[in-house]
């Protein structure tokens, strides 16, 4: 379930507009000219083996596209916002006064972002699709209510799910069950990371700042609100509205309330939740009042850690920072909730005349211990006189053994990937191969070891 926090998003929008107005005269200097891609669109057309599970779940290969993979849904939403922000930037580029141009562009982009939260391909849609990816991985059919354009609703559901499917996932794949609860917030923070990186490496200068604030503020406030009593009444109202119809019920209710409940009670069978208040089916929704004091305190602490997502110069309009002539850098701190607790990462980006690098230090925390990992890679490194561009990626980690919330034992693992893109002008087809051991990686639905193949098309407007 994604809850639309109207007052919170308004506050985030107002704060972001103030930041844009205050920093525009300075941050304009960070929007550097040079070799730019004004708009990058990415269409992952094939994503295996995930699409094999989607085909099995929904009947055939083409029907499976109704439940796009994490990569496919992420890039669909990235394309949507990037294209809209690019169009608004072009619309106001004729305004002569720099400060007024920036305020108008970012203000219009922010209002657009706020208005389309409840329609397909917006960040609310992406939030729900990441939930659905985890269900589809275990061939559990579902539907995204945002595809019905529920404008004005307070809560959006992932529905059309039978109790038997949720029980099977909960009792047989507990790690994936906990990941199911956090996947929506993971989606939005993955979107934030993708937009920030694109603005840095491709010098796009897109007016994303207000949207960055909306994502960081709303995702954090959702976590914090799941420990508050206000959700008790919301859940009661949902149960009353659902009645005896199992298939119109959301898969979980408040995401992070259910996540905290499951972290502390991994051995509790799904049916132990009892009967739904209507007398039909299992009582799916966990209320804040169902949490112990320890569980509430843990959830509040995770909510406070979500403020770390504001720690980046990109949040204040500095998409690139000049270090030396033709050398630029930037950074971001990210707090993402996981099946075992959270991942607090420090992300560094670097660009020279010849290379695009990134490096991340991951801090994986469960309830008992800190585990660490590292990630590094390159973006569009040219080969064969620029006819081919490769993007290698390497991760090594020590995560909690079996992704447990309570263990103090670590488990080594890693990921290696390579994307190769042919430079054929504006249209650039690509292939990507990625292999990983058991472990959690943002944007990868598989918690077990896996090898994935992705094929798609980039469209670049220079």
pTM for the predicted model, two decimal places = 0.94
CA distance 423 to 431: 12
How far is residue 391 CA from its own chain's centroid? 21
Task: List Cβ neighbours of 392 (8 Å cut-off, separation of 6 or more).
Answer: 377, 378, 381, 417, 418, 419
Can you list the residues of the chain whose pLDDT is less than 70? 1-35
Q: Which residues pair with 393 in a beta bridge?
A: 377, 417
CA distance 182 to 176: 10
Task: List Cβ neighbours of 13 (8 Å cut-off, separation of 6 or more).
Answer: 110, 111, 114, 210, 213, 214
Per-residue pLDDT, 285? 97
φ, ψ dihedrals at 377, nearest 5°? -175, 175
**Where in 225-351 does DSSP place strands (E)?**
321-324, 327-337, 342-351
CA distances (Å), 366 to each of 185, 222, 342, 405, in order? Answer: 18, 20, 7, 5
Q: Where are the domains of the chain?
A: 2-461
Tokens coding 199: 């603005």
CA distance 154 to 147: 15
CA distance 324 to 234: 53
Model pLDDT for residues 117-142, shown as the tens digit of each residue: 889 999 999 999 999 999 999 999 99
CA distances (Å), 293 to each of 223, 264, 267, 290, in order? Answer: 16, 12, 19, 10
Tokens coding 65: 């596209």
Number of neighbouring beta carbons within 10 Å of residue 374:
14
As a whole number of Å, the end-to-end CA separation of the chain is: 39
């Amino acid at each position: 379930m994604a809850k639309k926090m109207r007052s919170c998003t308004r506050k985030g929008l107002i704060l972001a507009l103030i930041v844009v107005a205050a920093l525009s005269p300075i941050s304009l200097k960070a929007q550097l000219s040079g070799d730019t891609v004004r708009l990058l669109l990415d269409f992952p057309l094939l994503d295996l083996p995930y699409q094999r599970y989607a085909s099995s779940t929904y009947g055939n290969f083409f029907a499976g596209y109704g439940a796009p993979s994490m990569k496919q849904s992420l890039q669909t939403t990235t394309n949507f916002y990037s294209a809209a922000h690019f169009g608004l930037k072009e619309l106001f580029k004729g305004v002569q006064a720099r400060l007024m141009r920036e305020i108008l562009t970012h203000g219009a982009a922010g209002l657009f972002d706020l208005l389309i939260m409840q329609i397909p391909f917006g960040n609310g849609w992406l939030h729900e699709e990441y939930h659905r990816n985890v269900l589809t991985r275990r061939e559990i059919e579902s539907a995204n209510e945002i595809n019905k354009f529920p404008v004005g609703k307070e809560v959006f559901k992932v529905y059309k799910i039978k109790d038997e499917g949720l029980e099977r996932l909960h009792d047989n794949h507990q790690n994936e069950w906990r990941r199911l609860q956090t996947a929506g917030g993971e989606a939005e923070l993955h979107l934030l990371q993708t937009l920030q990186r694109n603005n840095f490496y491709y010098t796009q200068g897109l007016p994303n700042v207000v949207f960055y604030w909306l994502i960081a503020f709303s995702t954090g406030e959702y976590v914090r609100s799941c420990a508050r009593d206000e959700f008790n009444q919301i859940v009661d109202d949902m149960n009353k509205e659902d009645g005896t119809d199992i298939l119109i019920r959301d898969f979980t209710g408040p995401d992070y309330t259910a996540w905290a409940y499951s972290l502390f009670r991994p051995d509790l069978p799904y049916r132990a939740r009892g009967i739904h208040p209507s007398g039909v089916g299992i009582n799916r929704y966990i209320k804040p009042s169902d949490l112990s004091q320890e569980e509430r305190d843990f959830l509040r602490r995770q909510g406070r850690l979500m403020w770390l997502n504001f720690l980046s110069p990109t949040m204040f309009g500095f998409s690139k920072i000049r270090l030396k002539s033709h050398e630029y850098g930037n950074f971001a701190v990210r707090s993402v909730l996981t099946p075992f607790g959270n991942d607090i990462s420090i992300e560094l980006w670097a660009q020279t005349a010849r290379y695009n690098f990134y490096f991340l230090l991951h801090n994986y925390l469960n309830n008992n211990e800190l585990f660490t990992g590292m990630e590094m890679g390159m973006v569009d490194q040219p080969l064969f006189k620029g006819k081919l561009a490769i993007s290698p990626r390497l991760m090594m980690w020590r995560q909690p053994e079996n992704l447990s919330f309570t263990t103090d034992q670590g488990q080594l693992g890693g990921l290696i990937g390579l994307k190769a893109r042919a430079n054929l002008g504006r249209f650039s087809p690509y292939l990507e191969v990625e292999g990983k051991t058991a472990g959690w990686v943002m944007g990868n639905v598989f918690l077990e070891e896996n090898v994935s193949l992705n094929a798609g098309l980039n469209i670049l407007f220079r």
